[in-house]
Amino acid sequence: MSALVEAGLRRILAEPATTGGQAEDLPPLPSWNSGGHLVDIANRDELYRVMEEE
């Protein structure tokens, strides 16, 4: 897997950089509805309880 990632990075980084591109040329980042929090992350005991259940 690391060899595949390395080959992909080398290929992308070897391409010439485009000049003059503006931030508005970029596509918007994807977003999704995650369904909300299942546990209060500020409650350490609750986090440990949920992690032990799985």
pLDDT tens digits for 1-54?
999 999 999 998 898 776 665 666 778 889 888 887 778 889 999 989 888 886
* pTM of the entire predicted model: 0.33
Backbone angles phi, psi at 24, to 5 degrees: -70, -10
Tell me how far CA of residue 36 lies from CA of 20, 21, 30, 52, in angstroms.
Answer: 39, 36, 17, 20
Measure the CA–CA gap between 54 and 51, rounded to whole angstroms: 6
- Cα dihedral 37, 41, 45, 50 sign: positive
Q: How far apart are CA 31 and CA 20, in angstroms?
A: 27
